[in-house]
Amino acid sequence: MFDYAQAFERGLSYDAFLDKYATPDQRMRWNDFHASIALSPQQQALLSTWTRDMQVLVMAGAWCGDCINQCPMFEYFAAACPRISIRYRDRDDESQLTDEMQTCGGARVPSIVFLSEDGKFCGRAGDRTLSKYRSVVGTLGGAACSTGINTDLSLTEQVLQDWLDEFERIQWMLRTSSRLRQLHGD
């Protein structure tokens, strides 16, 4: 099995990743999107309740529009919850990791691996959330049709919530793990 814990340890922080891989224009796009989003008070309250450390390995590309419109969300989660540690790796600079994290037979980004505090694999997610795919499907012609799902939230707010739901799923997996409960005596 691939050593995701080692890949996480070699990963970069958000700023270090952008410093190394983003052009000035790309960095501006990441910064602009980051400034345009915020967590709701309910989302912040949820994140403040988490008790298990979570390592999150993100395969991304500084040039990638999906990464620009999703990865800054992860940084809001980490800022609101000190239990979340995130490290970034570049898709085009990591051939073995890129091969391991393929989605639908391709090197799609962002691609995420969730790990426990001691580096055990917990799950994968990416490259787009369900809300984003619903939006894309709704714009297709031909045999594809609208999902019929309507919400008062903007697509960005829906994607933010989709990602928070995925992070929450992993947090509850970690919280209810008998191995980690025994380790922490709870």
Domain with residue 9: its CATH number is 3.40.30.10
Can you tell me the distance from the alpha carbon of 153 to that of 50, in angstroms, rounded to the nearest whole number?
25
Per the structure, how many domains does the chain have? 1
Phi, psi angle pair for 116, to nearest 5°: -75, 175
Per residue in 45-99, pLDDT (tens digit) is: 999 999 999 999 999 999 999 999 999 999 999 999 999 999 999 999 989 999 9
Please say if the pLDDT value at position 183 is more than 90.
yes
Cβ contact 86:117 at 8 Å: no
Domain that residue 161 falls in: 4-184
| Helix 41-48 × helix 71-80 angle, to 10° | 60
Q: Which residues contact 114 (CB under 8 A, 6 or more apart)?
A: 54, 55, 56, 57, 121, 122, 123, 124, 125, 167, 170
Residues 3-16: what's their mean pLDDT? Answer: 97
**Omega cis (within 30) before 110:** yes
At 140 the pLDDT is: 80
